Structure 1
Amino acid sequence: MAQGTHFLALLGARVTRIDIEGSCLSDVHDVLWNRDKERLAAAHDPADRARQLVSHLSAVDIVMHDFLPSEARALGLDPDSLSAAYPALVHVAVGAWPAGHPHQDMPVDDALALGSAGLFDEQQPVARDGPLWLRFPFSSALAAYVAASGALARLYARNRSGKGGPVSTSLVQAGLLPMMMHWSRAENPTPSVQFGMPKDSGATLFECADGQWIHIMGAAEKSPAIAKALAEMPREVRDRHNEKYAGAVIPYLDGERGAVEAILMTRPSREWLTEFWASDVPAQPVQPMGALFKDEQALAAGYVVQRELPGVGKIRVAGAPFHLLTDTIGPDGAVPPVADVAQGAPKLPLEGVKVLDLGAFLAGPLVPMLLGDLGADVIKLEPLAGDPMRPGEWAFNGCQRSKRSISVQLKDPRGREVMERLVGWADIVHHNQRMPAADKLGFGWDRVRAINPSAIYSHVSSYGPAGPRKDWPGYDQLFQASAGWEQEGGGEGNPPMWHRFGVVDHLAALASLLVTLAALVRRDLTGKGEWVAASLLGASMAAWDSYMDEQDRLAPAPRLDSMQMGEGPAKRIARTSDGWIVMSSDDPEAPHRLARLAGDRPVDDWMAGQPADALLAMLKAGGIPATRLTLDNRDAFLSDPANRALSLSISAQHPVYGAFETIGGAWNFGPDLRLSLDLPPPLLGQHTRMILSELGLAEHAQQLLFDEQIIRETRA
């Protein structure tokens, strides 16, 4: 929650943090996420505190909190009380699980949320079987964007109706966004949907001669040195190296992974990286957290900020993970009056908003999908061959619902005319193509602005909008590597580990969603469009839970043990006699209480002999928050009536799959606004004729485009 309001502060909001006893963050997190806020200590007396809250709530647009439902009611911060007392207020609540769920009273903690939802069992540990502790706190990192984005979506609806209201989300809802790739079921699954991406699929991580690991995406043999070494390696030697990966779930590098692995061990990492970069092969080194504070590109793109704080001194922290690249506030800094946009009470937060999706893979298309979930009309424009991620249907389906699809050949002037009609139609044009390619295909910023000056132009890049690498290709894996998450996730002394959730892709997409919604709200003031941006690099750094001081030392951050079991005696997973549990306590006394519960026995041996339910009862009595660690949870989660009732899992009718079940919405907006979750991922060009008709293109003109193979439509 603190990080969510921090993002709003970075967007220009005036944020006041009310520090209630027992709700303070650690010192490090306080520096990271509360540094740009006004601070106010809550009154100790309950009556005085209530009056204090009333005085502030009557003067603000948004209030955000992470109290449990019972705590919120006691403070008068529950949705009914706030809506009744402050009809124009936008009020946002963040829980571990949604209100109304059997787990609604779970402490708002990453480990407890992810463990109970089953995500600790969705990653293969480095050196053993079973579940693991995820060092990457991605549920809270994602939830910060989700909460702030929900606030702006509700604010946008308020501009049209004059009515505020509730927004809620949870660590589980945010943490499950990446699981849309992995947790789905189809009545008639295709082989790709059936196969998915197994936990033991592996990753293209390679060790070099200097002991440094690098992560490579794309064809390593595009490097002349790799191609030459492969050609010179005797066939029997290549076969011997490749035999190591003969049983690999996914045969990377056309079955030559073992040979490439041996070749990479012959030279130091810096030489290989120079070679790959010169050959346009996406690759990055696995670095410790904080290394990017001195990175040339991170500095040039503005992702490093130097600050001096009382009691802390001069530090470097991660900067904003998004950019507003145009200034649309009026001349001389004057803010134009709010436009008259009242349209009656909408039923969807973004009702009436039109989005053109020109993206591919994941970080680009995910934003329009979420805008579609919020009620926008989203059209996905694809080339005739389709989004390159379509063959991996399990991944494609994780970021494509809530859209209609049109397929157009943009290299033909007649196809470009169709695209330009869509640009003129759209409120938001969103993509993640490299900018030189976007300019070449006719949807760069200058061209979009010329066609539609009121359109918001939203771009997700790999490295940011400025700097020497601004046009380089990139993937989630490269930024998990360079930002330190792969090293941290592997555990002490272990090789690095890629988190298969695609977390950085999702973080970058949510940063783009947030800044796009900010621009949409701001357009009500200006009537003008603007260019906004986010990147994988910026998002990977903004998730850091540390900062760097003047002596280049990182502030204390959690470290994962070598067995990937946890970060401390009372922050870890543990085996019981009938399953696993996860406990998470920052209380320095918790390890001592745990030892007293175990008596004379080693704590691990004692816990291994206890049934999970009995152990959880003892831990609760000892003041140590804990929960069951759920295993193999996909089918149970999708079928759970409680999850279905809250739209945590949903089902839609797909033209090929039949009934298609997947993860549901990331927000709840109370009784007056709903999400739009009815459209399943579209077939390629499934809605081409419908869209062209809406654009005013006559049937004979459409048929000519079909005959000339300028457009395409797929029917089930």
Structure 2
Amino acid sequence: MTDRILDGVRIVELASGLAVPVASRMLAEAGADVIKVEPPQGDPLRERVAFASWNRSKRSAVLDIKTDDGRAKLADLLDTADIFIHEFTPSRAAELRLDDAALRERHPHLIVSSVTGYPIDHSDRDRPAHDLLVQARSGLMGELWGYREGPIAMRFPLPSWAAASLAAAGIVARLIQRDGTGRVGAVHTSLLQGMLNTASLAWNNAENPIPQLILNKYEAPPQLAMYQCSDGVWLQMMNPGERIDVGAIPLVKEVATELGGDLSDLSRNASEDLRMVIAQRPSTEWLPVLRAADLGIEPALQMGELLRDPQVTANGYVAEVDDPTYGKTIQAGSPFGIDPPCAVTRPAPLLGEHTDEVFAELGSSPAANVIRPDDAVDPRPLAGLKVLDLGSFLAGPMAPMLMADLGAEVIKVEPVVGDRLRYKPSYWEACSRNKRSLAVDLTTEQGQAVLHKLVEWADVVHHNQRPKASAKLHIDEAGLRALKPDIVFGYVTSYGENGDRADSPGFDSIFQALAGWEVENGGIGNPPQFSRFGVLDVQTALGSLTGTLLAVYHKQRTGRGTKASGSLLASATATQSETLIRLADNSVAEYPRFDATQTGFGPGRRIYEVADGWVAVVAEAGGQLAALRAIAGAADDDGIEAGLAAFESEKLLVELASAGIAAEPVREEYSFEFFDDEANRTGQLIATYDHAHFGRMEQPGAYWNFDDLTLQFHRAAPVIGQHTREILAELGHSESEVEKMYADRVAGGPSVPKMWEHE
């Protein structure tokens, strides 16, 4: 048995930035030998502190692939590798003979992956892969709330973080397929597909919708349940359905009485009366009291401060790393936990630190895997995998849906009255396609009997119930292993399984605050700004997807079922990797920050308002900022904004392109135009299917592109218990047994929640 899951797997990485390096680092710390190939001048990201976190546990080898000798050495290196991951657009990859066809000819054993700006088969495939530019062109900025009118740039690099996990998960799915069937091929993703994975929470196009299904920012005004305390600290609260009577909490009543007047509106989310009450006392008084009442609540911290949190330390979500540049540091860890565990093996390498070592190994490197292709086998990488989804809300159910997209068979179990997420139908639709729904009451003896059969059927069980609730339902690890010792268990929590907060309620918004993203999205000098998309819910789901697939791969190789754990806290901590804590002085290292206009980082990386809209500009390479000033007719950087304001967007984009400056139009109110764009249909970006309640349904489609198959989407998200009778019959229940379960309200469906009914 190997010490770590990916021991013996070699990855060659050729990229800069966030998405590819983070994807390969996740796999490195799961055991892969990752060789980072850098040009002689080094990865440009070395100038930023993020390089230390995003590139640790790797080796660095210098090659100039612009030369014949460099390309020949790269080819020799790829002969010894299992995986090659890069960032080249299709055109640039073809110029370098690193496109899929050329690599397949020279290295038929190789799994190839890339993260580009746009899908490799899309008409935009060769456009620049910069997070700010993709945010603009994709329509993301038009979906965000802010402190001014117009589009808002998102400080959280959502497209890049999502693409990193999609790439890592796609690679592991290919490894599962390779070892199971001998089939080898490419798997690609893009920043746009990462953005769409999150935008799917609001973007859909239904033939027969209900109002709650359409959630762009104009139909869904912000509920800013954010409160500033007397010490200046902001608290982000989440109280779904106003479940907790905040006005009944003794300290709230006490302060309200001191204030006098009619302060009766104290339990409603975003209550002005409650804002007045909270403002009277410091956060150190409010936090323990409100947490004790089982409210979801956290302070809005600066980025990096979360790395000090005792709950983070208790769960092992950080690592102490002795970095050659920054000294002894505390750095963000992996967004998932697995057994055998991930581990940091070395700090980020110095430039070319391992060049001689890597090339000296080539002669003794193991031979490539023998290819055993079987064309009769289902080409989907997870075909044959059976997944039982016992989760609820968003962070739990999305990972099983993505497994279903990759070919797994997924049964979703929900209560007879429906999953609690159905109160937000757009969210439900975004994480439920390609599944079958079984509505059954697991709290009953009959429901537990059904559960036992389902666990016997499954290869993977995945959920996000709180620890106490999962133990009560016998779906914790001990309960599941009592039924099936070798089951793969994917488990998502809020605060991790250890520490004082393990059973505390957790929601995306409060972790956005805890991770510093509300402060950063707000911009310097502004109050914290909540992002209406469940960005950390989605990141948690994507991390759990990667971890669970690693556990599936481990079982395939060893026969041992193990657990993959994720949490909102782990995901929030992982995103702190743009910075670190220097232990020499206990300081948080510098990182780029947004200004108060919520337009970007400075004159060379921001969005500009022009005569007919907005344009996103990235002018950071040598001489580009001077060229931008010249186009604007500005004497200095302060004059650029006024100079560009007079341009029509189309003319400005032509001028910028002529000067070699990357830029994109900022698309607003784009969600319906997205579904009308034929390029998105031909590029697999739109999935279309018949929904049992909403009629013909369209949603964002494939989040991966393969060279040997086209992902298919034939099953819309189910209504409550749409497949209950079908599944119970497959499990061996007779028709009379099923009827009794229905009569006893142990089973149900098909049905829809009352709020889903059409007028």
Q: TM-score, normalised by structure 2?
A: 0.88
**Following TM superposition, by how much is the alpha carbon of 1:225 offset from its aligned partner in structure 2, in angstroms?**
2.6
Is 2:607 the partner of 1:585?
no
Matches of 1:500 and 1:692, distance apart in 2: 38
CA-CA distance at 1:195 after TM superposition: 5.5
Q: Secondary structure at the match of 1:80?
A: helix
Q: CA 1:87/1:704 → structure 2, altered by over 3 Å: closer, same or farther?
A: same
Indicate if the aligned counterparts of 2:685 and 2:702 stay in contact, CA closer than 8 A. yes
Q: CA deviation at 1:341?
A: 11
Q: Does 1:161 align with 2:181?
A: yes
- Structure 2 vs 1, CA of residues 571 and 538 (structure 1 numbering), >3 Å: closer, same or farther? same
1:134 to 128, 151, 154: 154
- The DSSP-based 3-state class of the residue aligned with 1:422 is helix
Matched-pair contact (CA < 8 Å) for 2:65–2:74:
no
Q: Which of 6, 13, 18 pairs up with 2:37?
A: 18
Counterpart AA for 2:245: E
1:345 maps to which residue? 377
Residue 385 to residue 627, structure 1, CA distance change in 2 (3 Å): same
Shift of 1:272: 0.9
Corresponding residue to 2:687 among 650, 659, 679: 650
| Percent identity of paired positions between Structure 1 and Structure 2 | 36
Code of the residue aligned with 1:594 in structure 2: it is L
Q: CA separation of 1:82/1:592 partners in 2, compared to 1, >3 Å: closer, same or farther? A: same
Equivalence for 2:553: 521
Structure 1 residues 522, 658: CA separation in 2 closer, same or farther (over 3 Å shift)? Answer: same
Structure 2 counterpart of 1:290: 304
Q: Which amino acid aligns with 1:237?
A: D
Structure-2 separation of matches of 1:505 and 1:588: 38
Which letter does structure 1 place at the counterpart of 2:408? A
Residues 1:354 and 2:386 are matched in the alignment: yes
Structure 2 CA distance for partners of 1:253 and 1:652, relative to 1, 3 Å: farther
Match of 1:224 among 230, 246, 249: 249
The correspondence for 1:124, drawn from 134, 145, 152, is 145
| Letter aligned with residue 8 of structure 1 | L
The CA deviation at 1:253 is: 4.4
Distance 1:231 1:593, change over 3 A: closer
Q: In the aligned structure 2, how far is the partner of 1:182 from the partner of 1:482?
A: 24
Q: How does 1:68-79 map to 2 (within 5 A)?
A: 68-79=89-100
Deviations 1:409-454 (A, max 9, x none): 1111111110111011111100000111101011110111121122
How do 1:59-458 residues align onto structure 2 when only pairs under 5 Å count?
59-126=80-147, 128-194=148-214, 198=219, 200-218=221-239, 219=242, 221-222=245-246, 224-225=249-250, 228=253, 232=257, 237-238=262-263, 253-254=267-268, 257-325=271-339, 344-458=376-490
TM-aligned CA distance change 1:692 to 1:620, over 3 Å: same
Runs of 5+ consecutive residues of structure 2 not aligned to the other structure: 1-19, 343-368, 753-759
Q: Whole-Å Cα distance in 1 between the matches of residues 110 and 547 of structure 2?
A: 21
**Matched position secondary structure for 1:214:** strand
Shift of residue 675, structure 1, vs aligned partner: 2.2
- State the partner residue of 1:334: none
- Greater Cα shift, 47-56 or 115-124: 47-56
Q: For residue 530 of structure 1, report the CA deviation from its aligned partner.
A: 0.6
CA deviations on 1:471-510 (whole Å, 9 max, x unpaired) are 2210111111011110011001000001111111111111
Give distance in 2, aligned partners of 1:600 and 1:116.
26
Counterpart Cα distance in 2 of 1:234 and 1:712: 51
- The one-letter amino acid paired with 1:185 is N
| Deviation of 1:81 (Å) | 1.3
Task: State the shift of 1:21 in Å.
Answer: 5.4
Q: Separation in 2 of the partners of 1:255 and 1:107?
A: 41
Q: How far apart, CA to CA, are the structure 1 residues paired with 2:569 and 2:320?
A: 18
Q: Distance in 1 between matches of 2:567 and 2:21?
A: 22
Q: Which amino acid aligns with 1:709?
A: R
Q: Is the 8 A contact 1:348 1:676 kept in 2?
A: no
Closer, same or farther: CA 643–166 of 1 in aligned 2, 3 Å = same
Q: Is the Cα contact below 8 Å between 2:337 and 2:565 reproduced in 1?
A: yes
- Counterpart for residue 564 of structure 2: 532
Contact 1:325-1:533 within 8 A present in 2 as well: no
Does the 8 A contact of 2:158 with 2:195 survive in 1?
A: yes
The residue that corresponds to 1:246 in the other structure is none
Residues in 2 aligned to 1:633 and 1:327: alpha-carbon distance in whole angstroms: 42
Q: Give yes or no for contact 1:492–1:562 (8 Å, CA) kept in 2.
A: yes
Residue 236 of structure 1 deviates from its aligned partner by: 6.6
1:685 is paired with a residue of what secondary structure?
coil
Is 1:47 aligned to residue 81 of structure 2?
Answer: no
**Aligned-partner SS, 1:543:** helix
The residue number in structure 2 matching 1:681 is: 717
CA distance in 1, matches of 2:323, 2:270: 52
Unaligned runs of 5+ in 1: 243-251, 329-337
Is the CA contact 1:326–1:532 (under 8 Å) kept in the aligned structure 2?
no
Shift of 1:684: 0.6
Choose 485-494 or 262-271, whichever is displaced more.
262-271
Q: Is the 8 A contact 2:156 2:517 kept in 1?
A: yes
Shift of 1:565: 1.2
Residue 5 of structure 1: which of 24, 48, 65 is its match?
Answer: 24
Contact 2:123 2:679 survives alignment (8 Å): yes
Matched with 2:650 is: 613
Q: 1:312 to 1:227 in 2, by over 3 A?
A: closer
3-state SS of paired residue (2:213): helix
- In 2, the alpha carbon distance for the partners of 1:640 and 1:168 equals 22
Q: Report the aligned-residue RMSD.
A: 2.3
What's the counterpart of residue 499 of structure 2? 467
Call closer, same or farther: CA 1:71–1:21 in 2, change over 3 Å: farther
Map of 1:476 onto structure 2: 508
Q: 1:253 to 1:401 in 2, by over 3 A?
A: farther
Query: 597-606 vs 268-277, which deviates more?
Result: 597-606
CA distance in 2, matches of 1:327, 1:10: 9
Partner AA of 2:249 in structure 1: P
Aligned equivalents of 2:731 and 2:76: distance in 1?
50
Aligned residue pairs: how many?
694
Alignment check: 8 A CA contact 2:543 2:571 kept: yes
> What displacement does 1:465 show?
2.3
Instruction: State the 1:183 CA deviation.
Output: 0.7
SS at match of 2:518: helix
Offset at residue 316 of structure 1 (A): 1.2
Letter in 1 for 2:117: A
Structure 1 residues 694, 327: CA separation in 2 closer, same or farther (over 3 Å shift)? farther
Deviation at 1:256, TM superposition (A): 7.4
Query: Residues 43, 392 of structure 1: CA spacing in aligned structure 2 closer, same or farther, 3 A cutoff?
Result: closer
Query: Does the 8 Å CA contact 1:120/1:131 hold for their aligned counterparts?
Result: yes
2: CA distance, partners of 1:21 / 1:188:
57
Segment drifting more, 465-474 vs 444-453: 465-474
Partner Cα distance (2:70, 2:61) in 1:
11
* Aligned-partner SS, 2:289: helix
* Offset, 1:366: 0.6
Letter in 1 for 2:33: R
Partner SS state of residue 381, structure 2: coil
Shift of 1:102: 2.2
- Code of the residue aligned with 2:76 in structure 1: it is S
Q: How does the TM-score come out when normalised to structure 1?
A: 0.93
Which of 542, 547, 566 is 2:580 aligned to?
547
* Contact residue 479 and residue 536 of structure 1 kept, 8 A: yes
